[in-house]
Chains A and B, each alone.
Chain A
Amino acid sequence: MHPFAYVAPSTVAEAVAVLNEHGDRARPLAGGTDLLVKARANVWELDAVVDIKNIPELMTLSVNGDGLSIGAGVPCYQVYDNSDVAAEYPGIIDGASIIGGIQIQSRAGLGGNLCNASPSGDGIPSLIAYSAVAKIASTSGTREVAVEDFCTGPSRTVLEAGELLVSIEVPKPAANSGAAYTRFIPRNEMDIAVAGVGVFVQLDDSGQNFVSARIALASVGPTPILASAAGDSLAGKPVNDETIAAASSLAKEAATPITDMRGTIDQRKQLVEVLTGRMINQAVERARG
């Protein structure tokens, strides 16, 4: 591992100044569960790591009338241990509680999961389904990017050298809405998704019709995928087996997987169809309360 300096600033301004100075030879350190693995494997050769955990706004998890704000360094366990998040954002809990084992969840968070930009990142599909936005800072100011546009390829994101993810902002879900995420893995835990599907639905007051839906896929393309056609197909339609099957079929069409050690193209496409149906049903169940 290339020897690097450890810097622990207490403000965003100090952090982005260090990141800006070092360009791609510095990285923010949140949980370190991807960073230290990559540094040790010499995937990244770093001169400095910038520990963001002393910056209060990056460690803040808040739920209020506007929505949910997840600081970039907030670890998974704080997300799933928060009863307000569990009550209002169950799809996010579904993802946060299956990333790694307990040791990993003590450190790893959704911010790091997003910045690591693995196609299989279990935290990402629900963020997309909930229409979350990434808040980014640099020495020249701040900007916001929709989470579905954040990852640009395996381990690649819209973040430019010197930019820092500050938080993920999740809008407050509409009334009569629900969400769910699941993945297929051959084990019970501690594995990487063969395929994953996150769904958000909003129903009308009767609970019998979809108002809108968003469906996002993991591990079936170079990035997590927003399957727009699949979600849009449900808008205004009744909740029944036919409409759900049609959306599941469209989600399958949006998947562009590869064959590798974890699964084949055909298996992954089939999984997307099956898991989408299950997650729409689960999101509907949650929306009906």
Chain B
Amino acid sequence: MTTNSPSKVHVTTTINGQQHELLVPGYMSLLDTLRELIGLTGTKEGCLDGNCGACTVTVDGRIVDSCLVLGAEVNGKTVETIEGMATPEGLHPLQQAFLEEAALQCGICTPGFLVAAKGLLDNEPSPSEGRIRHWLAGNLCRCTGYDKIVRAVQKASS
């Protein structure tokens, strides 16, 4: 293929419970698809190489770095982002715990931590501190450090 403007890919995907039909450039990341095509800017761009976890979302229930997924790859799949965590009734228990434990300062890493932590608690409601720390190793925080974040996740555990 010699063209510099490859054709777009038709994608049907469910994001936070809502079905979307999109035309996505083949090279566009899921992160950019969410932020630029759909306007869901809660998912943050950090390192763009899979180290920091700021862009964490779930695809079919598994947490992934959305900077390392193509938008075209989520055709037929279910995506959950930070915007899907709170309900009209209130914050998700993890969000409430992050507030109460002051588990954030600048907040850039927070959506990624929340989505990653939800990915853990949805499957393991009572993880050990070690398990929480291991699970969140793919998320970096440069202000608060990790103790308050881990305490918040413990607080939201059953």
Query: Could you tell me the distance between the alpha carbons of A101 and B2 in the complex, rounded to whole angstroms?
Result: 37
Query: A188 contacts which chain B residues (CB < 8 A)?
Result: 134, 137
Is A49's CB under 8 angstroms from B26's CB?
yes
Query: A103 contacts which chain B residues (CB < 8 A)?
Result: 50, 53, 56, 63-65, 116, 138
Among the stretches B68-76, B81-89, B98-106, the one at the interface with A is B68-76
- On whether A101 and B5 interact (CB within 8 A), knowing A1-B27, A106-B63, the answer reads no
Query: B1 contacts which chain A residues (CB < 8 A)?
Result: 5, 21-22, 25, 47-48
Asked if A37 is at the interface (CB within 8 A of a chain B CB), the reply is yes
Query: Could you tell me the distance between the alpha carbons of A240 and B23 in the complex, rounded to whole angstroms?
Result: 64
Query: Could you tell me the distance between the alpha carbons of A112 and B138 in the complex, rounded to whole angstroms?
Result: 19
Is B67's CB under 8 angstroms from A36's CB?
yes
Is B65's CB under 8 angstroms from A104's CB?
yes
Query: Could you tell me the distance between the alpha carbons of A107 and B63 in the complex, rounded to whole angstroms?
Result: 9
Asked if B154 is at the interface (CB within 8 A of a chain A CB), the reply is no
Is A4's CB under 8 angstroms from B68's CB?
no
Asked if B110 is at the interface (CB within 8 A of a chain A CB), the reply is no
Is B6's CB under 8 angstroms from A3's CB?
yes
A212-248 near B? 1/0 per residue, CB < 8 Å: 0000000000000000000000000000000000000
Is A4's CB under 8 angstroms from B26's CB?
yes
Is A32's CB under 8 angstroms from B70's CB?
yes
Query: Could you tell me the distance between the alpha carbons of A39 and B70 in the complex, rounded to whole angstroms?
Result: 12
A32, A47, A189: which contacts B69 (Cβ < 8 A)? Answer: A32
B27, B53, B67, B139: which contacts A4 (Cβ < 8 A)? Answer: B27
Is A190's CB under 8 angstroms from B70's CB?
no
Asked if B21 is at the interface (CB within 8 A of a chain A CB), the reply is no
Asked if B9 is at the interface (CB within 8 A of a chain A CB), the reply is yes
The B contact surface, by secondary structure, is: mixed
Query: Could you tell me the distance between the alpha carbons of A48 and B6 in the complex, rounded to whole angstroms?
Result: 9
Number of interface residues of A (CB under 8 A): 35
Query: Could you tell me the distance between the alpha carbons of A7 and B59 in the complex, rounded to whole angstroms?
Result: 20
Is B26's CB under 8 angstroms from A190's CB?
no
Is A6's CB under 8 angstroms from B9's CB?
yes
Query: A107 contacts which chain B residues (CB < 8 A)?
Result: 64-65, 68-69
Asked if B7 is at the interface (CB within 8 A of a chain A CB), the reply is yes
Is A3's CB under 8 angstroms from B4's CB?
yes
A29, A33, A47, A101: which contacts B137 (Cβ < 8 A)? Answer: A101
A29, A47, A102: which contacts B119 (Cβ < 8 A)? Answer: A102
Question: In angstroms, how far is the closest chain B Cβ from the Cβ of A17?
Answer: 13
Which residue of chain B lies nearest to A190 when distances are taken between CB atoms in the complex? B137
Question: In angstroms, how far is the closest chain A Cβ from the Cβ of B75?
Answer: 8
Q: List 12 A-B contacts (CB under 8 A).
A: A2-B27, A3-B25, A6-B9, A6-B26, A8-B75, A36-B29, A51-B73, A53-B73, A77-B62, A102-B63, A102-B138, A103-B63
Residues of A within 8 A of B (CB): 1-8, 21-22, 25, 29, 31-33, 36-37, 39-40, 47-49, 51, 53, 77, 100-104, 106-107, 188-190
